[in-house]
Amino acid sequence: MSALVAYFSAEGNTKKIAEEFAKDIGADIYEIVPEIPYSMADINWKNPLSRCNKEWITKKEVPVSGIVEGFNDYDTVYLGFPVWYNCQPLVIDSFCKKHDFRGKKVHVFATAGGSTIGSSEKKIKSLVKGAISVDSILVRSVSDLKNRYSI
Ligand SMILES: Cc1cc2nc3c(=O)[nH]c(=O)nc-3n(C[C@H](O)[C@H](O)[C@H](O)COP(=O)(O)O)c2cc1C
């Protein structure tokens, strides 16, 4: 059994941490990508008409592209993303629904611009049905993750 680091990142902050962490712990890594990737204009939350604002307001499903092959082989999943609107981005919901988390430990990590991790942990708990445990941490660097899991 082994660990997987699965992450979504629109601007690169979470990606950098996920890559460093996966390398440090010798885990496999998987980038969560929406079926329609976000452009910079799409994630301009200052524009009321941007894609991300419209999706969030309507809680539109954001389908994820692809699937993790051999997901059943992992006993631990580190799930990383940026905090969007004090929560996990909608594409994370799609990713969770598409995979079977029964029997797995889920360690959520998120980067943010200044807020807390918000309601992400609670929401993700309801999405990863059958997981053994779910915990979460807001991170600024890979050291935060390594300290948390004593690596
Ligand atoms: C659509 C959108 C919504 C965001 N909402 C929040 C928020 O609620 N709280 C916060 O602290 N940062 C927020 N941010 C900032 C990101 O969480 C932060 O820049 C993060 O590190 C970006 O990670 P990434 O580079 O992996 O995409 C938001 C950014 C975007 C694009």
Residues 130-142 have pLDDT tens digits of 999 999 999 999 9
Q: Is 84 in the pocket of ligand 1 (CB under 6 A)?
A: yes
Question: Could you tell me which residues come within 8 angstroms of residue 139 by beta carbon, excluding any fewer than 6 positions away?
Answer: 17, 109, 110, 111, 145
Confidence band, pLDDT 50/70/90 cuts, at residue 119:
very high
CA pair distance 97, 111, nearest whole angstrom: 22
**Cα–Cα distance, 15 to 29 (Å, whole number):** 10
Is 50 close to ligand 1, i.e. is its CB under 6 Å away? Answer: no
From 8, 17, 83, the mutation candidate for ligand 1 (largest count of ligand atoms within 8 A of CB) is 83
The yes-or-no verdict on residue 147 having pLDDT over 90 is yes
CA distance 21 to 145: 8
Q: For the chain, which domains are there?
A: 2-148 (3.40.50.360)
Look up the pTM and report it. Answer: 0.98
pLDDT value of position 151: 84
Kindly state if the Cβ of 9 falls inside 6 Å of ligand 1.
yes
Average pLDDT, the chain: 97
Determine whether the shortest distance from the Cβ of 133 to ligand 1 is under 6 A. no
- Best mutation site among 60, 84, 108, 145 for ligand 1 pocket (most ligand atoms within 8 Å of CB): 84
pLDDT, tens digit (0-9, with 9 covering 90-100), for 67-110: 999 999 999 999 999 999 999 999 999 999 999 999 999 999 99
- Ligand 1 within 6 A of CB of 48: no
